[in-house]
Amino acid sequence: MPATIVIGAQWGDEGKGRVADWLAAEADVVARYAGGDNAGHTVVVGEKIFKLHLIPSGVLHEHVVCVLGNGMVVNPVNLLREMDQIASMGVEITPERFMISSRAHLITPAHVALDSASEKALGNQAIGTTLRGIGPAYMDKTGRKGIRAGQMLNIEEFADALYARIEEANVTLARQGGVNVDPKTVTTDYIEAAERLRPYIKDTTVYLNERLKQGARVLCEGAQGTLLDIDHGDYPFVTSSSPTSGGALTGLGIGPRYIDRVMGVTKCFSTRVGGGPMPTELQGELGNRLRGTGENHWDEFGTTTGRPRRCGWLDAVVLRYAAAVNGFTDLFLTKLDVLSGFDELKIAVAYHIGAKRYEFPPVTLSELEHVEVEYITLPGWHEDITKIKDVGNLPEATCAYVQKIAELCDTPVTAISVGPERDQLIFF
């Protein structure tokens, strides 16, 4: 494995963190390439539950070097908080094993305020963002007025640029009825953060290419999911980055020749948090059953925002599309344990609008809102599968469900998980 990419095949929260933690055992470097602290990746190690937002899930393996790639947007204050938090859980981070691309863009409190103002202005059309300032930070990046992590190396210039950007953002905020941000406070806080983060800021493009040339194994940890991609997702109900496999290359500055595995991660049902189309969404008892009550830490409530996730049947139209967009070599299917106890399970296999049948999602929101879903029904299973270690011991109906998914998206399923812990994993 020169380089493997792990990607969410749905709308995020598929279990990428636990998959990246598993693959990191065999990796030398784990790199995030898109998004920022809108992500929330859960890794359960014994009694400890890590909820990582910016730091790659590989951090829990001491031998792994973690990288925040150039494609990311980084809130330095939140990053330091996360570093301190995981240090308090016994995971020490040093510049030898953690680096931030000097080309990554910074999120400021003005971006956070702009995110809020924009959501408020949209009213009931709001995207339902994580309110982490992601969209406005990427807007500054593509508008060519962003501030990059490398600028933190020259404190004086950094402070001037930051102060000017906050003042400029305040004009926009005033126009949008948002809350102004004090440039002095921000500059003071960010200078303090810059002093601490300075040793971690590197040209990670050069580093990654050198390591790959030497034969190091690099794991690219995706955030968000394919249907949240700025190009390929349910625009405008998307995030502002490219979580798909192409984004891993631009978001890290590496070439496609190094990639030999693109693993799609999907839950065995669907979830979505925030607005936007979700053709297989279930209201009422079935949806509540998939969501869970919140009693278990793996129940469907957002890792970053705590919001209840919308839940529904697995959608193979979405998975087929994700397999195409990303070029998945294989799939990892999570949360099979949650499906124990259903008499039957449905999978969406196509959409219909009038007489037209769609095997891939239609492009426009108005079409997506009007699709009728064609389902197949498979037998469920009632056994507790959380302690099973071997595929031969799984109920027949579980195996049939997994094989059907592989068939529907023409991609092999190579592993499944039957609980959130590291060893609750079965190879197929």
When CB distances are held under 5 to 8 angstroms depending on the partner's kind, the choice from ligand IMO, ligand GDP, Mg ion, none that residue 228 binds is ligand IMO
What are the backbone angles phi and psi of residue 379, rounded to the nearest 5°?
-65, 145
Question: Which 269-308 positions form the footprint of ligand GDP (CB under 6 A)?
Answer: 297-298, 303
Please report where in the chains the tokens 């924009």 appear, as a residue: 118
Q: Is 229 one of the binding residues for ligand GDP (CB under 6 A)?
A: no
When CB distances are held under 5 to 8 angstroms depending on the partner's kind, the choice from ligand GDP, ligand IMO, Mg ion, none that residue 15 binds is ligand GDP
Segment lying near ligand GDP (by CB under 6 A), choices 123-131, 196-204, 281-289, 411-419:
411-419
How many Cα atoms sit within 13 Å of 289 on the Cβ side?
14
418: left (phi over 0), alpha (psi -120 to 50) or beta: alpha
When CB distances are held under 5 to 8 angstroms depending on the partner's kind, the choice from Mg ion, ligand GDP, ligand IMO, none that residue 337 binds is ligand GDP
Question: Which 22-61 positions form the footprint of ligand GDP (CB under 6 A)?
Answer: 40-42, 44
Residues found near ligand IMO in the complex (CB under 6 A): 8, 11-13, 38-41, 127-130, 132, 134-135, 223-225, 228, 239-240, 273-274, 303
Q: Is 183 one of the binding residues for ligand GDP (CB under 6 A)?
A: no
Upstream peptide bond of 95 is cis (omega within 30 degrees of 0)? no
Q: Is 338 one of the binding residues for ligand GDP (CB under 6 A)?
A: yes
When CB distances are held under 5 to 8 angstroms depending on the partner's kind, the choice from Mg ion, ligand IMO, ligand GDP, none that residue 419 binds is ligand GDP
Give dist(CA 4, CA 261) in Å, integer. 5
Give dist(CA 331, CA 96) in Å, integer. 32
Cβ nearer to ligand IMO, comparing 78 with 303: 303
Give dist(CA 96, CA 76) in Å, integer. 19
Cβ nearer to Mg ion, comparing 42 with 187: 42
410 is catalytic: no
Q: Is 334 one of the binding residues for ligand GDP (CB under 6 A)?
A: yes
13 is catalytic: yes
Task: Please give the size of the binding site for ligand GDP, defined by CB under 6 A.
Answer: 24
Residue 35 pairs in a beta bridge with 72
Give dist(CA 270, CA 290) in Å, integer. 9
Residue 4 C-beta: closest distance to Mg ion, Å: 19
When CB distances are held under 5 to 8 angstroms depending on the partner's kind, the choice from ligand GDP, ligand IMO, Mg ion, none that residue 418 binds is ligand GDP
Give dist(CA 266, CA 408) in Å, integer. 13
Cβ nearer to ligand GDP, comparing 212 with 273: 273
When CB distances are held under 5 to 8 angstroms depending on the partner's kind, the choice from ligand IMO, ligand GDP, Mg ion, none that residue 169 binds is none
Residue 400 C-beta: closest distance to ligand IMO, Å: 28
Give dist(CA 372, CA 366) in Å, integer. 13
Residue 38 C-beta: closest distance to ligand GDP, Å: 10
Q: Which of 239, 240, 303, 424 forms a contact with Mg ion (CB under 5 A)?
A: 303
Kindly write out the interface string for residues 12-31 of this chain, putting x where it contacts Mg ion by CB under 5 A and - elsewhere.
Answer: -x------------------
Q: Is 21 one of the binding residues for ligand GDP (CB under 6 A)?
A: no
Cβ nearer to ligand GDP, comparing 276 with 419: 419
Catalytic residue, from 21, 41, 315, 337: name it: 41
Residue 33 C-beta: closest distance to ligand IMO, Å: 12
- Asked whether 191 and 158 are in contact (CB, 8 A), the reply is yes
- Give residues with Cβ within 8 angstroms of 193, minimum separation 6: 76, 77, 79, 80, 152
When CB distances are held under 5 to 8 angstroms depending on the partner's kind, the choice from ligand GDP, Mg ion, ligand IMO, none that residue 221 binds is none
When CB distances are held under 5 to 8 angstroms depending on the partner's kind, the choice from ligand GDP, Mg ion, ligand IMO, none that residue 44 binds is ligand GDP
Cβ nearer to ligand GDP, comparing 307 with 357: 307
Helices 183-197, 155-176: inter-axial angle, 10-degree rounding: 140
Residues acting as catalytic residues:
13, 41
Residues near Mg ion (CB under 5 A): 13, 40, 303
